[in-house]
Structure 1
Amino acid sequence: MNLRFRLAALALALLSFLPQARADEGLWLPLLLKQLNEADMQKKGLKLTADQIYSINQGSLKDAVVQFGGGCTGEIVSSQGLLLTNHHCGYSQIQQHSSVENDYLTKGYWAMTREQELPNPGLTATFIVKMEDVTSQVLAGVPTANVQEADREKLVQANIQRVAQAAVQGTHYQAFIRPFYNGNEYYLFVTEVFQDIRLVGAPPSSIGKFGGDTDNWAWPRHTGDFSMFRIYAGPDNKPAPYSKDNVPFTPRHHLPISLAGVQPGDFTLVFGFPGRTNEYLTSWGVEETYSVSNPAKIKVRDAKLKILAADMQASDKVRIQYAAKYASIANYWKKWIGENRGLKKLDAVTRKQQQEVTFQQWVNSGDEARKAAYGTLLPQLERSYTAARDYTLARDYVTEAALGVELVAVANSLVPLAEMVQSKVPATELATAVDKARAGVINFYRNYSAATDQKVATALLPLYATGTPTTLLPTYVKNLSKQYPGQNGWSTYVTQLYDKSRLTSNESAQALLNEVAKGNARALLDDPAVQLASAIVSNYRTAILPTYTAATDNIALLQRTYVAGLRQQQPERKFYPDANSTLRVAYGQVQPYAPADGVKYDFYTNLDGIMEKADPTNPEFEVPARLTELYQTKNYGSYAYKGSVPVAFIATNHTTGGNSGSPVINGRGELIGINFDRNWEGTMSDIMFDPDRVRNITLDVRYMLFVVDKFAGAKHLVNEMTLVSSSDQAAPEAGKKIKKVKAKRQSSTATVR
């Protein structure tokens, strides 16, 4: 709809509309808590100060929180570096250690001694040492007008590199800088990255994944979603590569664990590394997500998941090979479905349009400077999204459908080797690249089934060919569609592809790499999988990516201006920056909710619910015999509540991907749970938050302790932790613990610049 017409149609009804950040909404920077949030947090039940949550010169709660790997959060729960995160966050590590003979995914794993704790090459745990506003330094010398977005970004990146390097020069720390408020501000993060992270314990999947895809993104929930690792350090307590001589890390602070449980209205704080949100999208951005991108991705993943599920059920080997991949694919598939339902329920596009009406009215009522800065902003955004629409769809089909076929993906990864041969790089450089490729290929085929992937290709390649806008489809694929018409034709082509390609097994792929190492590029380029991948990716790079990048760069520039305008329009509003995988605080309260007419959910679940859901004929709802025995004998120890064991609870915290594994902390700084999900009705909170519908789902620490102690018999791990029986008794001690650690570790950050 024409913007001017739309504004005129809506204006009368929307004169009083002015959006505000609502209760419990927000992913707040710890650095700014005292300024923006401390009073509100204390009003809701926080007993600590902002300095006890985040401090750079004294130990604080932040020193017990790590970014686990690249996409989750973990928390330190002992003075010996014991780390908690979600089962699904540690899933790939558990899977890598598993085999048909030692199936830790099915049976679980518990290290009864330090010697049994398993190393995980490549896994890291990252602490935030400090954060700092460096906006003025990053934007120094960057023009504010008459500059292309790509040129501006080059200047910004040069400044970022200079500032980050200077911040950690002469130390063992690392640093990065991220944009906030769509590039209106920049913050520096100084980090300490530990490289020796060992698997300590994981429950069987019948506990850690109980409910499977059926219960994923759902409430009520009964999943024991946790795993345990340990951080190891060198003798000086600093990061060190894996070594048998490394020792358990001594943290600046570890979280005491409360056994008191939660009640409605209790304060909750989630501390973690949320991944991505887009709360300030315009109506055109929301519409693109709702109508274009999400439906395409859901359709492709739905087809792929059905094939993987069938093959995994038929073969234990395939089940183990694809367990982590399936979980990753399924997670956001279901999230996108719930997100679209939530956006529809909230009428999100219309509400964004309402915001744009009031914004345009504010622009039109201002002085000439305001009109010059923002007068044509919204029409430009509309044109940019329109220009990008087909290219966004084409990009989604390349990444989800074409490269969702593993044979195509691995073939694409090897194409640069042929290019190196053709460009006649030095023999040593080629040899190094081939050796690196060999290692990657070995890892790839360890978790690959050609038979399963062939079925995936038969389903996904036709979706790619028919879903991509015709003008953006490679000629190579158009010709295949003509040569092999219909679904049966694609099946015939795929059969020939997998019969002829040398990239369907490790052995034949290694033999092919041997020929490449000798300078035979044609051996690789003549492979039909490489030809298909090359056609798709080269077309993507020439026909799709340039226009897509130009449009999205322009959207980024306009979005930065729009967010700046919103903050100027609403000076009384507390704006929080979108999530970008940096350390954030979200806070709220334990609350039930009513998702639909006649439906109301309680705030917690317990072990009784697990037994009610138990179904030995359904792998998602199998219950281990030992857990049934503990239930029947009521052997709950000190972890019981009202005659059962609490499993999970919900609260109003604003969370997203990356918050998986985040500590959920009560008002006294004690761990009460491990965040692991959102409710399905609230998955649209990445784009629009609704306090009545959004709930984060938390594993109750009492269920975690019960499983470790009573189910696994790993009492030694519980003995490492600091348990407190009630908040009233623990408050003074918890405060002393924080203060004591502050004094002990104060010098550890003194050298950070």
Structure 2
Amino acid sequence: MKRKILLSALFFPAVMAFGQQYGGMWIPTEVNEKEMKELGMKISAKDIFNPEKASIKDAVVQFDGGCTAEIISPNGLLLTNHHCGYDNIQSHSTVENDLLTNGFWAKDINGELPNPGVTVDFITDIKEVTSQILAGTEGLAGSDLSKKINDNIDAYKKSQKTESYQSISVRSMYYGNKYYAYVIETYKDIRLVGAPPSAIGKYGSDTDNWVWPRHTGDFSMFRIYADKNNKPAEYSKDNIPYTPKHFLPISIKDKKEDDFTFVFGFPGRTTEYLPAIAVEKIMNETDPAMIAVRDVALKTLDEKMRVDPATKIKYAAKYARVANYWKKWIGEVEGLKKSNAVEKKRLYEQTLISKNPAIKTTIDGLNAKYNEQAPYNLHKAYYSEIVRNSETFTLAGIYSNYIKAYEDDKMDAKSLESLKARLNEIYKDHDAELDAKVTAKILALYANKTSTRFIPKDFDQLKTENRNIGMMENLSKISMITGRSNDDKNIAKNIDKAFADQKTLVENLKKDPLIQMFGAFKTSYLETTDKQVTTLQADIDALQKTFMAQQMETDKDRKFFPDANSTLRVTYGKVKGSDPRDAVSYGYQTHLAGVLEKYIPGDYEFDLPKKLINLYNTKDYGIYKDKTGDVPVNFTATNHTTGGNSGSPALDAYGNLIGLNFDRQWEGTMSDINYDPKLCRNIMVDTKYILFVIDKYADAKWLLNEMKIVK
């Protein structure tokens, strides 16, 4: 009896306070309706997803293969994040008319801008097809099992009748224990309607990334176009705005703490059901290794960026990319420790074993395989991060792949143009001297931290940073790939000229000292680590499939959801602030006053447009202020989100749009592995701020006239 009380206290300390146990990324046809209604939802599960008639699912799309977007008018008007539309906004920008800096607002429907290649996907139906996909797989394993499953998937797809604009995707769930088929309709004429300037849409970009309090207007607007029959079609001037089956009303009612909310979108990847041993390895080994490499890279970049304004400008975006997951992993490690994730999982495993002793064999097998894989995984973490964070090695890798493609006669004209475009993009902002220092320092870290059995020949001599710096600087001066040498072989000087004689180029590249150095590094990794990681992971995956099935069979009190895999999901929670650390409390809402508090004139992260400042100074807020008299900007809730949920609609108890998801709070980024409602918060743009910017800042009232605004 005492043990049961202890386990309850360990497992569910947040349940009484938050009324929410596990979070969850629920398949829309299998949502946890009971708990959603207990938390305050007023609509039904059928209102969210109904393949037979219009429902909220008809207003939610996957945007351009990665983010989420939602329809907010009867004329196919789409809302997504600014960072989701960023590449498209950039593609329409010129030096004379920089839409990223200035923003863009079509004056009417004729001013909307086409975006070739951009698509949106609707999910029109979801069916469980486990019995069809696993038919005839009894007793099969390994490649035989994979082949049979793939054959069954192909057979299922061929058996279904689809329109030309439809496709079927069959996806594995619960580590291969279940399979679901998704009917997808793809629209291909998507036009840019509006976007605030980056000073609003990307406000606080690097410093505030993963951080709360937040003050970012992270939204942009597009429109879906269709043919005269409202069906998908390639871009044509004759296409007309799409008429949706459903669009989301937009609520500008004030939010209160503990209001119910749910998020509907396409989350990328989570691993909620890993065994304790796997979480322990992530927390204590692989995450710290990746953090350590990026620590060195970021500090080296920062040293020069602080004293050289030109370098600060040149490396701002690169620094942000490196810092993005560095910051996320730090928060993940801290959150796993603070939430006591490993110990909770161990206790849960023991509880399962007490009910089903067969699970002990599975756990013992997982423990053995993870321990066997650990040194290889650690080496993989270091290797991958060094290649990723050394532009010198990135370039060497690109040229190595080019050499192989050329010699295998696979470098056609299209591939060559793509390669040259990528090289131009790298060289455009490349500082070879600075990168030589980055490479030298992270190689020293690698040589000191990696077991000698993994280190390539002569790499054990790279343990001293200063020695490495001299060596890398000398090599980069004679290498043709870094852009530092002054001879005619310097590729960065003229890429087109260098590739004019590919036979000679390949001969010279093979002799390049940095390509040879990278080659030794890569060969050693492939020989000592890559196959070992892959082989052991196959064993782990088979055991994880068994473990997942055993959890679902044994824990009858728990309602399970599958890990995210970029398919359509529902997650839910409550509007909530947080208390992430001792004596630190965060409110759930930020306001326009906080935007001005962060304002730094001329800064690349915290500058503001004059018009927004004037709106604040004159308090010209219209109907968009809340009970405080200020305009709400961002808010947090306990919704369980991840990458891919960017741009997802945040909805109230009645299915009205109240916000636009765009990030997570740093202290809860471990939610991909261990969701804890006490610490995990998603961050959303308030619909009041979105409409305020459209109305008062952009003066795009014609867009507001399309929308159904709930006051």
Q: State TM-score, norm by structure 2.
A: 0.89
- Equivalent residue runs for 1:543-622 within 5 Å: 543-616=528-601, 618-622=603-607
Taking the aligned partners of 1:182 and 1:442, their CA distance within structure 2 comes to 39
Q: 1:462 to 1:592 in 2, by over 3 A?
A: closer
2:456 corresponds, among 456, 466, 474, to 474
Q: Secondary structure at the match of 1:286?
A: helix
Shift of 1:478: 5.6
Instruction: Let me know the Cα RMSD of the aligned residues.
Output: 3.2
State yes or no: 1:257 paired with 2:250. Answer: yes
Taking the aligned partners of 1:378 and 1:321, their CA distance within structure 2 comes to 50
1:132 corresponds, among 127, 135, 146, to 127
1:343 corresponds, among 336, 342, 349, to 336
Taking the aligned partners of 2:382 and 2:640, their CA distance within structure 1 comes to 31
Q: CA deviation digits over 1:684-742, x for unaligned, max 9?
A: 111112212222111100101111111122222222222121xxxxxxxxxxxxxxxxx
2:199 is aligned to 206
Letter in 2 for 1:396: A
Q: 1:616 to 1:421 in 2, by over 3 A?
A: closer
State yes or no: 1:656 paired with 2:642. Answer: yes
Q: 1:422 to 1:659 in 2, by over 3 A?
A: closer
Shift of 1:88: 1.9
1:51 is aligned to 46
Taking the aligned partners of 1:164 and 1:313, their CA distance within structure 2 comes to 56
Letter in 2 for 1:391: Y
Letter in 2 for 1:30: P
Between 159-168 and 180-189, the greater mean CA deviation after superposition: 159-168
Q: 1:442 to 1:554 in 2, by over 3 A?
A: same
Q: Is the 8 A contact 1:122 1:195 kept in 2?
A: yes
2:473 corresponds, among 470, 491, 494, to 491
Taking the aligned partners of 2:316 and 2:103, their CA distance within structure 1 comes to 14
2:690 is aligned to 704
Q: CA deviation digits over 1:68-108, x for unaligned, max 9?
A: 22332111112222211112222233334445443333332
Taking the aligned partners of 2:168 and 2:493, their CA distance within structure 1 comes to 41
Letter in 1 for 2:54: G
Q: Is the 8 A contact 1:674 1:701 kept in 2?
A: yes
Shift of 1:656: 1.3
Letter in 1 for 2:277: W
- Equivalent residue runs for 1:584-733 within 5 Å: 584-616=569-601, 618-642=603-627, 643-725=629-711
Between 639-648 and 496-505, the greater mean CA deviation after superposition: 496-505
Q: 1:470 to 1:484 in 2, by over 3 A?
A: farther
Shift of 1:50: 1.3
1:161 is aligned to 154
- Equivalent residue runs for 1:173-212 within 5 Å: 173-212=166-205
- Equivalent residue runs for 1:422-441 within 5 Å: 422-423=407-408, 425=409, 430=410, 433-441=412-420
Letter in 2 for 1:562: F
Taking the aligned partners of 1:101 and 1:393, their CA distance within structure 2 comes to 48
Taking the aligned partners of 2:228 and 2:306, their CA distance within structure 1 comes to 46
State yes or no: 1:354 paired with 2:354. Answer: no
Q: Secondary structure at the match of 2:565?
A: coil
- Equivalent residue runs for 1:387-406 within 5 Å: 387-406=372-391
Q: 1:110 to 1:333 in 2, by over 3 A?
A: farther
1:740 is aligned to none
1:3 is aligned to none
Between 194-203 and 699-708, the greater mean CA deviation after superposition: 194-203
Letter in 1 for 2:661: N
Give the paired residue count: 696
Q: 1:103 to 1:453 in 2, by over 3 A?
A: farther
2:424 corresponds, among 445, 454, 477, to 445
1:39 is aligned to 34
Q: 1:637 to 1:16 in 2, by over 3 A?
A: closer
Q: Secondary structure at the match of 1:460?
A: helix
Shift of 1:507: 6.1
Q: Is the 8 A contact 2:433 2:473 kept in 1?
A: no
Letter in 1 for 2:29: L
Q: Is the 8 A contact 2:226 2:239 kept in 1?
A: yes
Q: CA deviation digits over 1:481-523, x for unaligned, max 9?
A: 899943333333344432359997566433343323x697424
Taking the aligned partners of 1:99 and 1:393, their CA distance within structure 2 comes to 44
Taking the aligned partners of 2:426 and 2:42, their CA distance within structure 1 comes to 49
Q: Secondary structure at the match of 1:213?
A: coil
Q: CA deviation digits over 1:15-68, x for unaligned, max 9?
A: 7789579446111110113xxx22332333222221111011212111111112
2:356 is aligned to 363
Shift of 1:538: 3.8
Letter in 1 for 2:27: L
Letter in 1 for 2:473: S
Shift of 1:665: 0.7
Q: CA deviation digits over 1:444-492, x for unaligned, max 9?
A: 5146435336523531354244244432233375677899943333333
Q: 1:315 to 1:483 in 2, by over 3 A?
A: closer
Taking the aligned partners of 1:86 and 1:109, their CA distance within structure 2 comes to 14
Q: Is the 8 A contact 1:14 1:354 kept in 2?
A: no
Taking the aligned partners of 1:339 and 1:383, their CA distance within structure 2 comes to 25
Taking the aligned partners of 1:316 and 1:200, their CA distance within structure 2 comes to 35
State yes or no: 1:290 paired with 2:290. Answer: no
Q: 1:24 to 1:16 in 2, by over 3 A?
A: closer
Q: 1:529 to 1:400 in 2, by over 3 A?
A: same
Q: Which runs of 5+ in 1 are unaligned?
A: 1-9, 365-370, 726-753
Q: Secondary structure at the match of 1:403?
A: helix
Taking the aligned partners of 1:322 and 1:168, their CA distance within structure 2 comes to 51
Q: CA deviation digits over 1:210-253, x for unaligned, max 9?
A: 22332222222211111112223344433333444433322222
Letter in 2 for 1:489: M
- Equivalent residue runs for 1:519-530 within 5 Å: 521-530=506-515
Taking the aligned partners of 1:165 and 1:540, their CA distance within structure 2 comes to 41
Q: 1:45 to 1:12 in 2, by over 3 A?
A: closer
Q: Is the 8 A contact 1:131 1:189 kept in 2?
A: yes
